[in-house]
Amino acid sequence: MPIKKCVYVVATPGWQSAMCDITLPNLKAYADRIRADFRLITERKYPEWPAEYEKHQIHELGRDYDWNISMDADMLVRPDIDDFTSWHPPHYVGNWWFYDIRAVIDVEKDAYFSRDGRYYGLVECLIATSKFTHELWEPLPGKFEDYRPVFKDGYTRRISEYNLSRNLAKYGLKISGIMRKREDFFHINLTTDDIRKPEDVALAKLKEWGVR
């Protein structure tokens, strides 16, 4: 049977629309190349939570897929990279990057992190799970306000990364990189020292890659 894959992008209406007009066709083209479905998440299912949290809809939307791949709307994919689901171990969560979550989260307020002991903080801009690691997308119980105390810097927009990292610890999931080269993917809004508009940064990167 063919492997069922889906690429998801959260793109709430009106968010950096000029940039999304450039990035979304690029991400859709990648999904087509790896023979994956492509799904834009535009409807708010968690309106009381930051928009980034809407990627947790994958918990329900992705139940019937072998692979679920979440990519931020401000990402670009090189046109010549391979399908990492063909070689990435399915029992590992695929992640673009991770950090020490103790820098931003009071782990003493969440026993899962101290029990796990790895203190991985997942960067959420590019994450892939297989049917064996689907628990990563499990939404948090309770209300958004319940989790404000865990953020050391008060930056609660990190709630999605917090929960993905929490689920990694909760279920003892393993992680691995999903790139052969870091340059395979480009995160536009991480170029914080670039004074150009995001759409201009996107166009420049595509030109550099030879995409017209």
Indicate which CATH number applies to the domain containing 146.
3.90.550
Instruction: Kindly report the pTM of this predicted structure.
Output: 0.93
For residue 70, CA distances in Å to 27, 47, 50, 197 come to 11, 19, 16, 24
In whole angstroms, what is the distance from residue 165 CA to residue 156 CA? 14
Q: Is 80 exceeded by the pLDDT of residue 190?
A: no
DSSP helix/strand/coil, 151: strand
Residue 191: predicted pLDDT: 60
Residue 177: predicted pLDDT: 83
Contact status, residue 198 vs residue 186, Cβ threshold 8 Å: no
Structural domains in the chain (count):
1
Domain encompassing residue 169: 5-208
**30: nearest Cα among 156, 128, 150:** 128
Q: Is 80 exceeded by the pLDDT of residue 21?
A: yes
Q: How many CA atoms lie within 13 A of 157 on its CB side?
A: 2
User: Given the structure tokens 């050391």, which residue do they identify?
Assistant: 152
Contact status, residue 98 vs residue 123, Cβ threshold 8 Å: yes
Residue 193: predicted pLDDT: 64
Say if residue 8 is exposed, middle or buried (CB neighbours under 10 Å; 0-12, 13-18, 19+).
buried
Residue 1: predicted pLDDT: 75
